[in-house]
Amino acid sequence: MSDSFNLRKAVKITLAIIVFFFLWFVPAAVLGLPELTVVQQRVIAVFGLALVLWFTEAIPSWTTSMLIVVILLVTCSDSSLFFLRNGENIGQLLSHKAIMGAFADPTIMLFLGGFVIAIIASKMGIDVQLARLLMKPFGKRSEFVLLGFLMITGCFSMFISNTATAAMMLTFMAPIIRYLPVDGKGRVGFVMSIPIGANLGGMATPVGTPPNAIALKYLNDPEGLNLNIGFGDWAMVMVPFTIVLLLLAWVLLIKLFPFKQKTIDLHIEGETEKGPRLVLAYVTLLLTIALWLTDKFTGINANAVALIPIAVFCVTGLFTKDDLKEINWDVIWLVAGGFALGTALDHSGLAKYLVQAIPFNQWSPVIVIAGAGLLCYFFSNLISNTATAALLIPVMVAVGTGMGDVLEPYGGILTLILGVTLSASLAMILPVSTPPNAIAYSTGMVDTKEMRKVGVIVGVVGLVLAFTMLIIVGKAGIML
């Protein structure tokens, strides 16, 4: 088994290397891009390497990101190896500071703030307390308890990692699953409510899932689209949309997995810390959320607000050096690598050249918008949605910019970029599609066929509703 695994891994890595060197050395004319500069072709080679490694998962996704950064620094930047900086048609070298700056991008601060909030919520028992409080209105009827789990999971995923949310909610659900009849389908519906709630809930806020923050970075880039979309603008549109999808998912689960047992007596177990520390944590969390939702009025952008809870929790001792180890640094590194790749596409002039070389503005905008969404949906079902977003969003920004006013009847570039972003969160067909799916599958109560059926229906309905909503929002200028 080990030898077979190592062989598959070696084949994947070999394929990635072959793709990299082929794109590096092949004449630019063969790629149909005869006017490529040397640096631009090197960036294409790095992009191809990242695509193969992220798709095959030959090495962990975050290590691929680090590899991207290093290769860009030593081959494409103004700090690269001396013999790679000179030559005919070398083109614009990348700024090594800009590439390294990906690790300190303001959006990274947004991730850090979200992770710290999640750690404190779990450490203080706030998650348990909120779960008890929020589940009370749903009563004891099986269908409404299911609705409660869907909604509460979605609510937590708006501010906490969907992986952490899924693991936490599954713990709360364990007593219910044991209580339900073994031969009933309701158990499957309950387990499936966790990944669905976590995946859909993440769409509601910029901190809900990494693709959202990646999209917001490019939409608000002062040197790029500069759309100035605030946290509150996003939530105003996406929270109602997410609630609609969660309600539709609830109806679907009830139809596919009806309950044999009509009532459930729910008890959520867990300890909650008491005293002034808990009060301080609640006040800080509420203040942070309030500032996020009113960033357009206060003038403090979401990235800066994310540092406030970090400062408060660190200074007061709620967040310690041991808690630093709990931060999902792999996600931060993965996102930073994607940002570095986006910087390379932009600063090398490759994105602009590709838009000029390929007549996107002559294509049907419907095909471009739908094609981008479906492409993202396909990849996100097979690899990390964060990696997919990191690859596709900067390219789609360039495509949308190049198409100009052609997209306006369909909501403009906002529809294109947010369509790709939401498509990433709607991908949940396979156990490997998202960590919450894998967590649900690990219970042994859901098989691949059931997960695929639910995932396809939620995905297709979600995509149709998402693009319809985005076109309306884009044309009305609601988020701008």
Q: Are 445 and 191 within 8 A, CB to CB?
A: yes
Q: Distance between the two ends of the chain, CA-based, in angstroms?
A: 54
At residue 229, the pLDDT reads 92
| 3-state SS assignment for residue 363 | coil
Burial bucket for residue 15 (CB in 10 Å: 0-12, 13-18, 19+): middle
pLDDT digits (tens, 9 = 90+) for 274-294: 889 999 999 999 999 899 988
Mean pLDDT within 237-259: 95
In order of 146, 183, 257, 391, the CA distances from 254 in angstroms are 9, 16, 5, 37
At residue 334, the pLDDT reads 85
pLDDT digits (tens, 9 = 90+) for 4-56: 668 888 999 999 999 999 999 999 889 888 889 999 999 999 999 998 998 88
Residue 198 has pLDDT above 90, yes or no: yes
pLDDT digits (tens, 9 = 90+) for 340-355: 998 998 889 988 888 7
At residue 480, the pLDDT reads 64
Cα 252 to chain center, whole Å? Answer: 24
**Which residue has 């500032």 as its token pair?**
291
Torsions phi, psi for 263 (to 5 deg): -130, 155
User: How far apart, in whole angstroms, are the C-alpha atoms of residue 146 and residue 152?
Assistant: 10
User: How far apart, in whole angstroms, are the C-alpha atoms of residue 252 and residue 254?
Assistant: 5
At residue 430, the pLDDT reads 84
| 3-state SS assignment for residue 18 | helix
User: How far apart, in whole angstroms, are the C-alpha atoms of residue 444 and residue 442?
Assistant: 5
Closest CA to 397 of 226, 227, 219: 219
At residue 3, the pLDDT reads 65
Burial bucket for residue 30 (CB in 10 Å: 0-12, 13-18, 19+): exposed
User: How far apart, in whole angstroms, are the C-alpha atoms of residue 64 and residue 390?
Assistant: 12
Burial bucket for residue 341 (CB in 10 Å: 0-12, 13-18, 19+): buried
At residue 69, the pLDDT reads 94
Percentage above 70 pLDDT, the chain: 98
Most distant pair of Cα atoms in the chain: their distance: 76
Q: What is the mean pLDDT of the chain?
A: 89
What the block records as the tokens of 269 is: 């177990």
At residue 4, the pLDDT reads 65
**For the chain, what are the domain ranges?**
1-101, 106-216+230-324
What the block records as the tokens of 216 is: 């917001």
Contacts of 371 (CB under 8 A, 6+ apart): none
Confidence of residue 2 (pLDDT cuts 50, 70, 90): low
pLDDT digits (tens, 9 = 90+) for 85-132: 888 889 999 999 999 999 988 888 888 888 898 889 888 888 888 887
Closest CA to 429 of 391, 383, 372: 383
